[in-house]
């Protein structure tokens, strides 16, 4: 059976991390490894995590250099054939999410799987705010600012071993940088699942303040130039593409 490692990076999220882990441990797919990387929480998060200790394969709690440093730690400590992420504010959309992902990876040529995502109210995951509908990848999409919803992105371990994890010089856009690096490779093959796999609570780091929005745009532009994908027009297209998410259901 394909082993899927799910990495959860958490820092001071005592009010939401239980929901994330409950959605993981309610999956019908049994070949799952849970890896939790806590950044040294001081708000009671560790007390919550202790309740799941018998079901979590790896639990680390120590200071880190931010979310991407934590995710890199999780990748390094995972043992699965495939690695994905379940952030402490998010929940898997239903009990068959990992089963769908495992089926997609039955094709040995598939390096990565991604799907659709719903943004939901922070205090009510049943209330939709935005709908991020993705699509089948074509190389031309990168220059139009396309990226898949990263919380739905599952990748074979071999990809991280060959192409590296997150560049922690980016504080907000390391996920976009990795997407450009992976999908920009000629030998990278992906599979799109036209189904909502993740419910993501609003209020993420990239949109938390005007300062963060500006920082993210700067980092996105840097990643585009670094990966030789595009420039300002690509960045503008990437930002404008989000507007339609408010009108989809």
Report the pLDDT value the prediction gives residue 210, as an integer from 0 to 100: 72
CA angle 208, 213, 218 (to 5 degrees): 145
Q: Are 115 and 192 in contact (CB under 8 A)?
A: yes
Provide the Cα torsion 25, 31, 37, 43; round to 10°: 10
pTM: 0.93
Report the pLDDT value the prediction gives residue 239, as an integer from 0 to 100: 82
Q: Are 110 and 189 in contact (CB under 8 A)?
A: yes
Report the pLDDT value the prediction gives residue 203, as an integer from 0 to 100: 72
Report the pLDDT value the prediction gives residue 248, as an integer from 0 to 100: 61
Q: At what angle do helices 174-183 and 210-226 cross, to 10 degrees?
A: 20
Q: For the chain, what is the domain count?
A: 1
Token pair, residue 181, equals: 């690096």
Q: By C-alpha distance, which of 5, 147, 22, 25 is closest to 85?
A: 5
Name residues of the chain where pLDDT drops below 50. none
Q: How far apart are CA 159 and CA 239, in angstroms?
A: 28
Report the pLDDT value the prediction gives residue 24, as an integer from 0 to 100: 98
The H or E element containing residue 40 is: none
* CATH code of the domain in which 47 resides: 3.90.550.10
Q: Which domain holds residue 149?
A: 4-246
β-bridge pairing 82-85 and 58-61? unpaired
β-bridge pairing 82-85 and 90-92? unpaired
Report the pLDDT value the prediction gives residue 224, as an integer from 0 to 100: 92
Provide the Cα torsion 8, 12, 14, 20; round to 10°: -20
Q: Which residue has the tokens 């996105």?
A: 220
CA end-to-end span of the chain: 35
Neighbours of 164 (CB within 10 A): 13
């Amino acid at each position: 059976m394909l082993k899927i490692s799910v990495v959860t990076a958490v820092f001071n999220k005592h009010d939401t991390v239980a929901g994330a882990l409950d959605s993981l441990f309610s999956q019908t797919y049994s070949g799952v490894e849970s890896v939790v990387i806590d950044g040294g929480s001081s708000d009671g998060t560790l007390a919550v995590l202790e309740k799941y200790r018998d079901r979590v394969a790896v639990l680390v709690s120590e200071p880190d250099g931010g979310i991407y440093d934590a995710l890199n730690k999780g990748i390094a400590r995972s043992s699965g054939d495939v690695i994905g992420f379940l952030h402490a504010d998010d929940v898997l959309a239903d009990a068959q999410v990992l089963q769908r992902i495992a089926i997609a990876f039955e094709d040995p040529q598939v390096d990565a799987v991604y799907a659709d995502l719903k943004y939901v109210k922070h205090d009510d995951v049943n209330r939709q705010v935005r709908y991020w509908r993705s699509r089948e990848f074509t190389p031309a999409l990168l220059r139009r600012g396309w990226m898949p919803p990263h919380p739905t992105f599952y990748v074979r371990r071999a990809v991280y071993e060959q192409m590296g994890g997150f560049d922690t010089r980016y504080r907000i856009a390391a996920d976009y940088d990795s997407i450009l690096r992976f999908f920009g490779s000629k030998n990278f093959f992906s599979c799109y699942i036209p189904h909502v796999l993740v419910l993501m609570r609003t209020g993420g780091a990239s949109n938390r303040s005007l300062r963060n929005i500006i920082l993210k745009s700067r980092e996105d532009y840097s990643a585009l130039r670094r990966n030789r994908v595009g420039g300002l027009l690509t960045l503008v297209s990437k930002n404008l593409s989000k507007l339609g998410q408010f009108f989809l259901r």
